[in-house]
Amino acid sequence: MPSDSSVVTAKTSTTLEPSYRIPMGLFLIALPVMALQIWVGMVIALFSVFLLFQAYTLRLVFTATDLDIYRGETRIRRFPYQDWNTWDIFWSPIPILFYFREVNSIHFLPILFKPESLRKQLQVHIPLNEEGVTSAS
């Protein structure tokens, strides 16, 4: 039986489901490229396998106060919302890149999670004003 604190944590956090669209799309692009330029195609294929592994192993967890990145059961990075200045998801037709800026750093992540869920959680936890700046800034 879970403790009361774990029940509260489960209710106040959201883990995004992985999306394999970008890794699989890159792999499909790599196949015809290999016919033209074997080494270029191989690099693209290896990168797609790397992204596939990342999508399978990494998890984004939105909590009440921060965005946590997990590999398996281990939290590898925490990004407190209070440090965020802005965020964006690039290329609306096919979302491929998630950008966010903190007070002291800029981050770019490939979209390895369901983009609709990512956008929804970002709008809930880190809403932007008309100028594209977070409310916390």
131 belongs to a structural domain: no
19 belongs to a structural domain: yes
pLDDT of residue 21: 93
117 belongs to a structural domain: yes
pLDDT of residue 11: 58
Q: What is the mean pLDDT of each run of 10 residues along the chain (137 residues)?
A: 40 89 96 96 97 95 95 94 93 88 93 93 88 63
45 belongs to a structural domain: yes
**CATH, residue 58:** 2.30.29.30
pLDDT of residue 8: 37
113 belongs to a structural domain: yes
The total domain count for the chain is: 1
Rounded to two decimals, what is the model's pTM?
0.80
By residue range, what is the domain housing residue 106? 4-125
Helix (H) or strand (E) holding 87: strand 84-90
pLDDT of residue 12: 82
The Cα–Cα gap between 87 and 28 comes to 29
What is the DSSP code string of 25-85?
HHHHHHHHHHHH-HHHHHHHHHHHHHHHHHHHHEEEEE-SSEEEEEETTEEEEEEEGGGEE
59 belongs to a structural domain: yes
33 belongs to a structural domain: yes
